[in-house]
Amino acid sequence: MDRISQAFARAGREKRAAFVAYLCAGDPDFNTSLAACRAVLDAGADVLELGVPFSDPLADGLTNQLAAQRALDGGMTAAKVFELVQKIREFSQVPVIFYTYYNLVFSNGVDEYVRAAKAAGVDGMLTLDLPPEEAGEVLAACRKHGLKTVFIVAPTTPAERLPRIGAAATGFIYYVSREGVTGVRDQVAANIPEAVARIRQHTALPVAVGFGISSSEQVRQVARSADGVVVGSALVNVIRENLDNRAGLPARLRIMAAELVAGTGRAN
């Protein structure tokens, strides 16, 4: 089994949802970002979703937009993102997913980008603005180099597209539980159990749910029906709030991540 499959299978055996932690690579600088990644992994994250900083992150709300800008201002490049993953691999075998945009892949050469990502230790790639209908070159490169693919289902996704999305994904399905962009919300979206059940009719892969999940109680609600729970903005906000205390930032992030992880368990 690959690392992604192992992570979800282990969580299932432990009667919980897998916790997928999102951080923007290089936010606010390389060394602090590496320490932040270690902190969420130490807290029990099952999967690390690394946002590749981009100047036009159209799926992201203000929190993650600002994180990407901090990373870019700090000198983060594609090569340094790969280097960050290599550093993570020195202390962790937790699966790493790139959360990226197609221009970053295309502009570097699709096959070369996927090859370099795999060589660095990346396990899978979610290309936010690339639908499976237009992903032939990326899918071929991922098959060639052994990188798993993650595709999105939204509340507005027509039922007739679900089989195509399910066939294109090889890592897991990411259900975006809200219309719009990433960000902290007061309540989880309605109808998540029904949406997850609908997706499972078209795939045997795990279904992870994200967008708008920001507290342990919200994680607990989603974990009742999803195979994985994705939290990003709530973690990124800890970084933003501690920019003047970068030495203490990892400890604060570890506390927040541990609280979120605690919500993944399911009642027997």
Task: Write out the DSSP string of 65-133.
Answer: HHHHHHHHHTT--HHHHHHHHHHHTTT----EEEEE-HHHHHTT-HHHHHHHHHHHT--EEEETT--GG
Q: How many Cα atoms within 13 Å fall on the side-chain side of residue 107? A: 8
Cβ within 8 Å of residue 79, ≥6 positions away: none
140-157: buried (b, 16+ CB within 10 Å) or exposed (e) per residue?
Answer: ebbeebebbbbbbbeeeb
* Catalytic choice (60, 83, 137, 241): 60
* Residue 60 among the catalytic residues: yes
Q: What are phi and psi of 11, to 5 degrees?
A: -60, -40
Instruction: Give the SS3 label for residue 251.
Output: helix
CA–centroid distance for 54 within its chain: 15
Residue 208, helix vs strand vs coil: strand
β-bridge pairing 18-24 and 148-153 = unpaired
46 among known catalytic residues? no
49, 56, 112, 134: the catalytic one is 49
Classify residue 217 as exposed, middle or buried by CB count within 10 Å of its CB (0-12, 13-18, 19+). exposed
Tell me which residues are annotated as active site.
49, 60
